[in-house]
A and B are shown apart, each in its own frame.
Chain A
Amino acid sequence: MSAPMRDAAPARLPSERFRLELGGIGALTLLGLALVAVGPLLLDRYSVNILIRSFLYGSIAVTVDILWGFTGVLSFGQSAFFAIGAYACGLAFSHLDFTPLVAVAALGGGVVVAGLVAALIAWLAFGTGVSPLYISVVTLVLSIVFVQVIYAGGDFTGSSSGLSGFDTFDLSNEAWFRIAGVALVLVTLLGWIFVRSDAGRLLVSIRENEQRCRYFGISTSWVKGALLVVSAVVAALAGYAYAAYTDVVAPDLGDFQFGTMLVIWVALGGRGTLIGPAIIAVLIDFVSAWLSGSLPFVWQLVVGAVFIVVIVIMPQGLGPALAGLVRRLLPRVSRIQPTAARLAEAPTYDIETHMQMGHAPAAVEITGVARSYGSLHVLEDISFTGRRGELVSLVGPNGAGKTTLIRCISDGQERTRGRIAIQGREVGRMPPERCVRLGLGRKFQTPNVFDALTVAESLRVSRSRLERLSPWRRADEIHLPEAAMQVARATGLVAQLGTTVRHLSHGAKQALELAMVLAMEPSVLLLDEPTAGLTKPERTLIGGILVDLVAKHGLCILLIEHDLEFVREISSRIIVLHQGRIVLDGSVEEVVTSELVRTIYTGEPQAIGEPAAAGPGSDG
């Protein structure tokens, strides 16, 4: 914000940084491939055997990390997808002759079943209004159901003892070692490129603040669902390879304990690091197999105990903890230059170009809207129209229902009664991401931002509906419309593009959210106290930008604000809410001189309307 511009050293461009990092990961990839190539020559037969399995487990750990570490989707059922792939192989080769056609059909079948089950799980867990915890519950149930289905399959599935001794691929252990090793390296590499790409940042933004993403018009359920399906497919492929190599499938491949073990490996290796979980998974599984002869239970005990200690004292996991240690020992190596994209002007947008001139519908039309929580009526009979080129301020004391009204306009599920149309189109029961696509932009009361992203990354995510995010690259330019650019410049955000949002001041976060919302190029802007926590000059400046948006670009702005002085300066119209009803709707002059408003604000004992009992906890 008004803080002095920080170091003027030019930040590295994302594509440069990306290439640099790609160099690093490329070297690591080559090292991995080299190890995979020479491994069978150096290792004894038993180690080679074990490592094949460990590599396959490592690949699934990577998918768990992408789901959980990056996107925040905690699945206990990744084991079930692995086992579906394994059983596709085991069942096909046990009951049919081993032919290339059967092998391919089994692989395809396993992948399709795993994908369909994942899609079903996604439909159950990522629907509107479903608790975020539900995905963990339902994947846990999936693993239980899987095991019981295998039990119930009798001789066909081999029940509790599983299937073994079926004909399978005639490949040497060395070949399997290389297949599994290359697969692990590739899955990790592709995963790494994806999470570092612009699209990958979207995963983190969903984890950090799914609500904000939905209000950028991003269908987060769809993103999470697609990710779950892809992860399931990768796990099923690994499972198929596992069964084809070991010649054994058993129900415990898909059980809850294995599913949870995968999560533990990811937590130990470091969520959100990909490489940490991959290495830890391989390491633990390999050592477990070695020690299972000499110290079978003690080793498990050690893993469990270490896991508890890591979770309690090193929540980021061993990988990042070690990296931190190395960085402290080698202080000069690690100075990473800040990275940030450049800002560029987006082609100017004008509401006029979106709309037919002349008989355009009202920007927002609200008819008889009410919202009650049980017997508590927060809003009653709200009707008004917001036209293009109007800045309408909503004022009123705490609990008047202002924020509830904004919520009703931007989420079709919220209101109890009444109709809302945006740009002439009915909101109906649309979820926020679809309301937003009607041209709505909403800024929340307290800064609603992505703490783990940088300023530039945040702006890019906010533009994702207008500019596709690449899943394998990082773009160097972010195109912002003039208004967003003005906010970014005037509040000093342009000098902090590479700064992680967590480290911004409160005021800068407010400005960032406003800039992000403006970057969506909305036609109707809902602003809930956009200047709370800002200094006087900053407020004036943002006020000026808002007035400009309305006058030059024909936006309709609905603004909640407590600072009546600010409201008076910029509004074209003021609506006064009190106890859930509109008590006054008029010009600035009418409202300012109104005795009623003075009474409402200073609480003089002339009652207004009926002396209702405002319930506790209802906000403004």
Chain B
Amino acid sequence: MADAALQIEHLTSGYGEAMVLRDITLSLQQGEVLAVLGKNGMGKSTLLKTIMGFLPPHGGTIRIHGTPTTGLSPHRLAARSVAYSPQDQAIFQDLSVEENLRLGLRSDRGFAPALDRVAGFFPFLAKRRRQAAGTLSGGEQKMLIMARALLSRPRLMLVDEISEGLQPSVILRMAEVMRSELSGSQLSILLIEQNVQFALSVAQRYAVLTRGEIVDTGLIAQPGVEARIHDHLAV
């Protein structure tokens, strides 16, 4: 069996003394989408930051495509075809749309065809490539983030709350794009979400994170999953 795209075992992590994540074990198979759901402040973003090498884990192991990555700096992970879209400050506001996209590739070679490809998903990108990214609307900025992540054809995507603050039509578009990129490729996605419907529409499996621990995990195809997740998240 091929190595998992992402294999996390007994991961403990946090900021300084504060343990935000406790004993997390997760795996993401190649070609799979795993949605990690949970309310604010439950450690979802910390999980991605630890995987990406911004936070040193206090314990446990992380493997990407079979290779341990603990201790690798973020830019080395990016070089291994990992694309990370943070939740906050994920675009360069003062750079143009095109410059933001260029930074999605490690060199300018092959940029033109790649741009054409993602502009196929989000046509506004081609039209407004000279515009400063900070002047795009919130939804357009999220689409830019998604396009930039897809540009390099990564093997693993770590996506933090891409649907936050988006109107329903844009969320549907986003889900469509992700599904079409996934079909027939080796792409795997770790999707951090609060929006249950969106997560369920693209993921095959889910995990619920509550106060730094995984409290539930399962297949999305099971009956009654949605109600079950709502129970975890709702009032």
Contacts and interface: CB of A to CB of B under 8 A. Distances in A.
Contacts of A606: 168
A529 B194 CA distance: 19
A254 interface: no
A613 B235 contact: no
A90 B137 CA distance: 67
A399 B141 CA distance: 15
Contacts of B172: 605
B165 A602 contact: no
A615 B165 CA distance: 8
A601 B234 contact: yes
Nearest to A376: B138
Given A398-B164, A615-B138, A598 B41 contact: no
Contacts of B16: 506
B119 to A, nearest CB: 21
Interface string A293-329: 0000000000000000000000000000000000000
Interface string B201-222: 0000000000000000000000
A175 B167 CA distance: 83
A597 B235 contact: yes
A602 B234 contact: yes
A125 to B, nearest CB: 30
A617 B168 CA distance: 21
Interface in B125-160: 137-141
B54 to A, nearest CB: 17
A603 B89 CA distance: 22
Interface residues of A, number: 35
Given A529-B41, A601-B233, A607-B167, A616 B88 contact: yes
B163 interface: yes
Contacts of B108: none
Given A598-B234, A613-B137, A616-B90, A533 B18 contact: yes
B67 interface: no
Nearest to B145: A616
A350 to B, nearest CB: 34
Contacts of A506: 14, 16-19
Contact of B17 (A504, A529, A613, A616): A504
A534 B9 CA distance: 24
A603 B196 contact: yes
A397 interface: yes
Interface stretch (A71-79, A216-224, A382-390, A561-569): A561-569
A501 to B, nearest CB: 10
Interface residues of B, number: 36
A4 interface: no
Interface string A528-570: 0100110000000000000000000000000000111100100
Interface in B96-116: none
Nearest to B233: A602
A612 B166 CA distance: 8
Interface in A581-614: 592, 597-598, 601-607, 611-614
A612 B18 CA distance: 35
A505, A579, A602, A617 interface centre (most CB from chain B within 10 Å): A602
Contacts of B164: 397-399, 614
Interface string B26-58: 000000000000011100000000000000000
Contacts of A615: 138, 141
Contacts of A616: 88-91, 138, 141
Nearest to B170: A611
Contacts of A564: 234-235
A556 B194 CA distance: 31
Contacts of A399: 164-165
A399 to B, nearest CB: 6
A620 interface: yes
Interface of A: 397-399, 503-506, 509, 529, 532-533, 562-565, 568, 579, 592, 597-598, 601-607, 611-617, 620
30 contacts: A398-B194, A399-B164, A399-B165, A503-B17, A504-B17, A505-B18, A506-B17, A529-B41, A532-B41, A562-B40, A562-B41, A563-B39, A564-B234, A579-B165, A592-B235, A601-B194, A601-B234, A602-B195, A602-B196, A602-B233, A603-B171, A604-B197, A605-B171, A606-B168, A607-B167, A611-B166, A611-B167, A614-B164, A615-B138, A617-B88
Given A506-B19, A613-B165, 15 more contacts: A397-B40, A398-B161, A505-B17, A505-B18, A506-B16, A533-B18, A562-B39, A602-B196, A603-B195, A603-B196, A605-B171, A605-B172, A613-B140, A615-B138, A616-B90
**8 nearest interchain CB pairs?**
A613-B138, A506-B18, A611-B167, A614-B165, A603-B195, A605-B168, A613-B137, A564-B235
